[in-house]
Homo-oligomer: A and B are copies of this chain.
């Protein structure tokens, strides 16, 4: 069996271990959810928001959510965490009692992995994005969830050119959805807009933190349909995720952006928040 490279620890239902049963429905059908949490100086950043999204996802999929067990998982991993790390929580519907898509009553399974990660301070100089040919999947009932069906993100990420941070993904109607592993905000005339994620994409925890915090800095944030035409006329583009925080974008495809002002203001404010 292969090793788990670059992992600092893996726990399955709270017990150190590296392997899961083949019949796990997360593996067989992608029947589960996950969270990717930044650990900084012994704290799981924005833990309440991460667990809140996981709980909502479990409710939507009909998977029992065990807050106490997940908080114990997090505490167990934090005890082993270096000053900067990524904590990945996966909750699957567990092992199938029999073959077939229909869910059956049973115990979900929790998979927790602690990963090393590097710091992202150099990203304040701006990152570049390509534009993916792979479209984001359209599925209203799954939109917003951080579920395990991520083949569209995988195929898009395979398109990331050397030197680029990520690729921008559109849906089949040519609306901007997100990067393959980040959410996107456009700024124009001091106002922020981010794609409405009612049919595609993942509703990122940092996206939600930006929506919550921006008004405290006097910034308006709208959720709406955004196109490449909106991108072309933006003053500034920002990407967000739990690992990188808020990061300014210097180029998307052929479009260059010179202003990093709102990105760096939001980044500074959010970095300074107690988790």
Contacts and interface: CB of A to CB of B under 8 A. Distances in A.
A25 to B, nearest CB: 8
Given A150-B30, A152-B139, A98 B157 contact: no
A242 to B, nearest CB: 12
Interface stretch (A16-24, A70-78, A203-211, A266-274): A16-24
A240 interface: no
The complex is assembled from copies of this chain, and their number is 2
Interface of A: 1-2, 4-7, 10, 12, 17-31, 34, 61-62, 86, 88, 90, 92, 94-103, 111, 113, 115, 134-135, 137-142, 147-158, 160, 172, 180-181, 199
Say what secondary structure dominates the interface of chain A.
loop
A5 B98 CA distance: 7
A86 B23 CA distance: 14
Given A20-B22, A135-B141, 6 more contacts: A88-B99, A99-B115, A135-B139, A135-B140, A139-B151, A149-B151
A70 B151 CA distance: 23
Contacts of A26: 27
A103 B158 contact: yes
B23 A7 contact: yes
Contact of A138 (B94, B101, B141, B172): B172
Given A24-B27, A86-B99, A99-B88, A172 B199 contact: yes
A10 to B, nearest CB: 5
